[in-house]
Chains A and B, each alone.
Chain A
Amino acid sequence: MPESIEIQVLRYRPEQESEPVWQSYVVPFTEDMSVLQGLQHIKDDVDGTLGFRWSCRMAICGSCGMMINGKPELSCKTFLRDLLPGPVRIEALAHFPIERDLIVSVEPFVKKLEGIKPYIIPREPRSLEQGEYLQTPRQLEQFEQYSGCINCMLCYAACPQFGLDPEFTGPGVLALLHRYNADSRDGGREERMQIVNTEEGVWSCTAVGYCSEVCPKHVDPANAVNQNKVNSAKDYFLRFLSPKGASR
């Protein structure tokens, strides 16, 4: 087992560099170290100027996505032992504007999320006194997987279509859209299908499927997008039969 490993980071500091430059660091290696721990070592003891986001360390907060050897990954659950002998090459997530070093702008993602009405639009009103909506485990299963999106944006970095067209709603947000549409408590599908049906909705997807491959939480956004293509196509045809369009 080596005692150290080289980590190369693509640096970009807008106040200093007009374009990104590679910088190399050597960090001590242990069998159980994550890439994040390697970066923390650099930040703490070598170079405090290195910029990256992180928090939970356990693949649930979604902060620490980055390109590791060209692949979108969470740095907290990518281990240096799997990248031997190195060097490990780290860049900011692809397809997003870089704010600094490994930090990309999250704003485009959040704006898209806000745009899909990501909340329950009740199918039937219910007061708190009436208690919870009944939802069987089978009904829960219809959307539970898609509710597991941690907003890490790895799927966007994997999506060639988003790379070409930043207006594309994209896999993660479409999975969340589907999460609400597929929820038995929700009646907002009609409003959301207007987003799905647009050029920037599902029809931008070219079914590459790399989004699902890189998803660290097995949300399978490609499947959500695909189901919405079916729904959108149905919507299209039913529109000729019903003046208001159809969504159920």
Chain B
Amino acid sequence: METFQCDVAIVGAGGAGLRAAIAVAQADPTLSVALISKVYPMRSHTVAAEGGAAAVTQAHDSLEAHFHDTVAGGDWLCEQDVVELFVGQAHEEMVQMEHWGCPWSRTADGHANVRAFGGMKIERTWFAADKTGFHMLHTLFQTSMQFPSIRRFDEHFCVDLVVDEGQLRGVVTVEIATGEFRFIQAKSVIIATGGAGRVFRENTNGGIVTGDGMALAYRHGVPLRDMEFVQYHPTCMPGTGLLFTEACRGEGGFLLNKDGYRYLQDYGLGPAEPTPRNKAMELGPRDRLSQAYWHEKQKGRTIPGPHGDVVHLDLRHLGEKKLRERLPQIYELSLEYLGVDPAKAPIPVLPAVHYTMGGITADGRTASTLPGLYSVGECSSVGIHGANRLGSNSLTELIVFGKVAGVEAAAFAKRTSHGGEAQAQLLADESQRRAMVVATRKGNERTATLRREMARSMEDGCGIYRTASTMQSTCDKLAELKERCARVQIDDASKAWNTDWLLAIELGYLLDVAEAMAHSALNRRESRGSHQRLDGFEQRDDANYLKHTLAKYRPGAAPVIGYGPVKITTSPPGTRAYGAAGEAADREAKELAHA
């Protein structure tokens, strides 16, 4: 096996990985960076993010307000010191993106414009029409090309980390076009592989979002944190799950049930007003909106469709001109995929899995429990999202913590030297052997069948509302699927572009991540944020569950579920309220503070 030696290896080249690579290159141009991605960087799923990136910008806004929105939005399961760092760095990073050429939408006088977003008290979401993730990704990718110390390994699939007795030595990759293995020897490694939404059936995610990095870190003993918190985005395309950005509602869109009624007012989000009011109605947080859909469906007030019951996202009153300017991609998606002209008819939508709040346990500087291993972006749990992420915090997370991860991994690499080459090579060979087992084993199972059964079971057991019995069924099903996964036989025997083989390896990643999610969910006997139970645990229980779930991997067995403390700095857990109730709660809190 060929060895490539570098200082810092980065697995994943979406927004987070690219930002980290640039940060390493800027921290010290003598450090060599291997930027590894199973796709070309511009295909990474950051590309599909639509609405925007949050940073306090307007004079009447404040870091405290962004902090409070984020912590309350996360139902107090956030690491508050990390949120402080996050909101404090956000604006500078957004300006950095602007200097690098990101085509932010502008105000008439040339400043970056901001729009309203769900759960955000003041407009602070920077946007590039409704293709913000696309523009950020391409800006970062193209900007990265000016740094000669970044060596890209495009379309290289990561099969393992090399860890020798607690010493991280690098990663093992497969060059997809040739099937050749390579040991990428590194002093520090940043995982930036994105989320794992493909474990669910109806989801907004690209096919590549299979939890690879989460599974790799997990298998090497790094706990996955808060994996039960999976975000359903309330407005997605029936059948495919494709996303209609929250910006549709930020710009003034309505959600209507079958009677044309703005049903969110029945779920503590009102009053219903003709123009958007921040943190109310359609600008409530995603968990609450998806839950409201579920209740409407129970009441028979949704609209039956060929791919399940829907509600209506009504943008007609915004008019074609504004839609074309602010939401051009949404306009086209609706028109081309659904045959619905959003200026003339409401768009049928339903909730779909969108985001994994949890991930690889990381401290506020993105470091994991394994020295030299860092994680950033959706694969990581750096602690800012808690039990529910606010829209437009994740794109900001990529660049704020991408930079942090790059700086930290660079510093680690500078104080470390390569070592243990012979043993590392043996471990890399062993990783290759295990990967090749998947290519050559005989059996009677098919990857796609198992993947479908997994995705269905996750939706059934770990959806918007959960009970112990449904979650237990999912845990049982996943154990069965893991056992059957060892009998998957692939069709393809070639080396060049054997995606049949890589999909089978990805199935292993998906199943490990799914298991961490389902067991973490089963063990949390309360309702908080996106984790909602119907079986006697309907309330938040701070006495017992104001803590992070930590899922630890066990080979051949279900994970061990443990817990860790939550860092509270200035915001003790309070009532999470939106709409008029939220405003009353804010007033009360203010009066208390002044008393």
Q: Interface residues, chain A, CB within 8 Å of chain B?
A: 13-16, 32, 43-45, 47-49, 51, 53-63, 77, 99-101, 103, 106, 110, 113-114, 117-120, 122, 126, 128, 131-137, 139-140, 143-144, 147-151, 176, 180, 183, 185-186
> Given A13-B496, A55-B39, A134-B111, are A110 and B154 neighbors across the interface (CB < 8 Å)?
yes
Q: Report the stretch among B61-69, B90-98, B407-415 that lies at the interface.
A: B90-98
Which of B100, B142, B145, B495 is within 8 Å of A15, CB to CB?
B495
Most chain-B CB neighbours within 10 Å: which of A16, A62, A117, A149? A62
Interface centre among B142, B240, B306 (most CB of A within 10 A): B142
A45 to chain B, nearest CB (A): 6
For the complex, give the distance between the alpha carbons of A123 and B116 in Å.
32
Tell me the minimal C-beta distance from B326 to chain A in angstroms: 12
Given A48-B500, A119-B143, A134 contacting B110 (CB threshold 8 A): yes
Contact B43 A62 (CB under 8 A): yes
B36 to chain A, nearest CB (A): 15
Partner of B490 from the list A48, A128, A186 (CB cut-off 8 Å) is A48
Most-contacted residue by chain B among A43, A53, A101 (CB, 10 A): A53
Contact of B206 among A55, A103, A150, A185 (CB under 8 A): A55
Q: Are A57 and B98 in contact (CB under 8 A)?
A: no
Q: Which of B25-33, B131-139, B182-190, B290-298 contacts A (4 or more CB under 8 A)?
A: B131-139
A140 touches B103 (CB 8 A): yes
Once bound together, how far apart are the Cα atoms of A43 and B208, in whole Å?
Answer: 15
| A139, B110: Cβ atoms closer than 8 Å | yes
Against A, the Cβ 8 Å flags (1 = close, 0 = not) of B106-139 are 1111111000000000000000000100110010
State which of B159-167, B329-337, B349-357 sits at the interface with chain A: B329-337
Q: In the complex, given contacts A57-B240, A140-B105, what are 14 additional A-B residue pairs having Cβ atoms less than 8 angstroms apart?
A: A14-B496, A32-B239, A44-B447, A48-B446, A55-B207, A100-B494, A113-B145, A120-B143, A122-B99, A128-B96, A136-B106, A140-B106, A150-B42, A150-B134
Residue from A44, A57, A185 having most chain B Cβ neighbours under 10 A = A57
A selection of 25 A-B contacts at a CB cut-off of 8 Å is A32-B239, A32-B337, A44-B447, A45-B448, A48-B447, A48-B492, A49-B494, A49-B500, A53-B43, A55-B39, A56-B45, A59-B336, A100-B496, A110-B154, A119-B143, A119-B146, A120-B101, A128-B95, A139-B110, A140-B103, A140-B106, A144-B103, A147-B138, A150-B42, A186-B101
A199 to B446, CA, bound (A): 52
Q: Is the CB of B497 within 8 A of A99?
A: yes
For the complex formed, measure the closest distance between the CB of B565 and the CB atoms of chain A, giving whole angstroms.
35
In the bound complex, how far is the Cα of B154 from the Cα of A63, in angstroms? 13
B48 at the interface (CB under 8 A from A): yes
Residue B534 CB within 8 A of the other chain:
no
Residue from the list A60, A132, A136, A139 in contact with B99, Cβ < 8 A: A132
Chain B residues engaging chain A, CB cutoff 8 angstroms: 39-40, 42-45, 47-48, 92, 95-96, 98-101, 103-112, 131, 134-135, 138, 142-143, 145-146, 154, 177, 206-208, 239-240, 242-243, 306, 329, 332-333, 336-337, 446-448, 490-492, 494-497, 499-500, 503
- From A32, A120, A131, A134, B100 is in contact (CB under 8 Å) with A120
A103 to chain B, nearest CB (A): 6
A58 CA / B247 CA spacing, docked (Å):
17
Q: Assess whether B96 is in contact with A15, with CB atoms less than 8 Å apart.
A: no
Which one of A16, A47, A60 has the highest number of Cβ atoms from chain B below 10 Å of its Cβ? Answer: A60
> Which chain B residues border A55 with CB–CB below 8 Å?
39, 43, 45, 206-208
Q: CB < 8 Å: which of A56, A119, A126 contacts B47?
A: A56
- Contacting pair B491 A57 (CB below 8 A): no
Contact of B39 among A49, A63, A135 (CB under 8 A): A63
Closest to A106 in B: B40
What's the Cα separation between A144 and B104 when bound, in Å?
Answer: 10
Residue pair A60, B142 in contact (C-beta under 8 Å): no
Are B336 and A113 in contact, with the CB atoms below 8 A?
A: no
Pairwise interchain contact A61-B47, C-beta atoms closer than 8 A = yes
B491: chain A residues within 8 A (beta carbon): 47-49
Contact partner of B146 (CB less than 8 A), chosen from A44, A48, A117, A137, is A117
In the complex, which residues of chain A have a beta carbon less than 8 angstroms from the beta carbon of B111? 132, 134
A57-B95 CB under 8 A given contacts A63-B39, A135-B106, A147-B138:
no
A185 contacts B101, CB within 8 Å?
yes
Q: Is the CB of A119 within 8 A of B206?
A: no
B98 and A133 contacting across the interface, CB-CB below 8 Å: yes
Task: Indicate the member of B42, B43, B96, B146 with the most A CB atoms within 10 Å.
Answer: B43
- Which residue of B has the minimal Cβ distance to A109? B40
- State the 5 A-B residue pairs at the shortest beta-carbon distance, nearest first: A44-B448, A134-B110, A48-B491, A55-B206, A48-B500
For the complex formed, measure the closest distance between the CB of B92 and the CB atoms of chain A, giving whole angstroms.
5
Q: Is the CB of B337 within 8 A of A136?
A: no
A143 pairs with B92, CB closer than 8 A: no
Contacts of B112 in A (CB 8 A): 132
Contact between chains at B143 and A61 (CB < 8 Å) = no
A118–B448 CA distance with the chains assembled, in angstroms: 39
Please give the distance in Å from A148's CB to the nearest CB on chain B. 7
CA A114 – CA B43 in complex, angstroms?
A: 16
Closest A residue, CB atoms, query B338:
A32
Alpha-carbon separation in the docked complex, A128 to B447 (Å):
49
**Cβ distance B352 to chain A, nearest Cβ, rounded Å:** 12
**Chain B residues with Cβ under 8 A from A183's Cβ?**
101
A30 to B135 Cα, complex, angstroms: 34
Contact A101 B497 (CB under 8 A): yes
What is the CB-to-nearest-CB distance from A130 to chain B, in angstroms, rounded to a whole number? 9
A127–chain B nearest beta-carbon distance, Å: 9
Which residue of chain A is the closest to B492 with respect to CB atoms?
A: A49
Taking a contact as CB atoms under 8 Å apart, the answer to whether A132 and B100 are in contact is: no
Q: Which of B40, B99, B105, B109 contacts A133 (CB 8 A)?
A: B99
Q: Is there an interface contact between B206 and A56, defined as CB atoms closer than 8 Å? A: yes
Write out the residue numbers on chain B whose beta carbons fall within 8 Å of the beta carbon of A58: 48, 240, 242-243, 333, 337
Distance in angstroms from B145 CB to nearest chain A CB is: 5
Residues of A within 8 A of B104 (CB): 132
Query: In whole angstroms, what is the CA distance A165 to B39 when docked?
Result: 27
How distant is B462 from chain A, measured CB to nearest CB, in Å?
23
Residues B494 and A132 in contact, CB atoms below 8 Å apart: no
- For A151, list chain B residues within 8 Å (CB): 40, 42, 138
Give Cα A126 to B61, complex, Å.
25
Collect the chain B residues with CB atoms within 8 Å of residue A110's CB: 40, 154
Of all chain B residues, the one with the shortest Cβ separation from A31 is B306
- Chain B residues with Cβ under 8 A from A126's Cβ? 99
A78 to nearest B CB, angstroms?
10
Measured CB to CB, the closest approach of chain A to B137, in angstroms, equals 9
Cα A180 to Cα B103 in complex, Å, equals 11
For B44, give the chain A residue with the smallest CB separation: A61
User: Which residues of the other chain, A, contact B448 by a CB distance below 8 angstroms?
Assistant: 43-45
A contact residues around B495 at 8 Å (CB): 15
* B110, B134, B142, B503: the one within 8 Å of A119 (CB): B142
CA distance A185 to B139 in the complex (A): 14
| Smallest CB gap from B147: residue in A | A119
**B207 and A57 contact, CB distance less than 8 A:** yes
Q: B100 — nearest CB in chain A belongs to which residue?
A: A120
B residues less than 8 Å from A15 (CB atoms) = 494-496
Chain A residues with Cβ under 8 A from B177's Cβ? 99
B496→A63 contact, CB < 8 A:
no
Tell whether, in the assembled complex, residue B100 and residue A119 are in contact, meaning their CB atoms are under 8 Å apart: yes
Q: How far is the CA of A114 from the CA of B40 in the complex (A)?
A: 13
| Residues in chain A near residue B332, CB distance under 8 A | 59
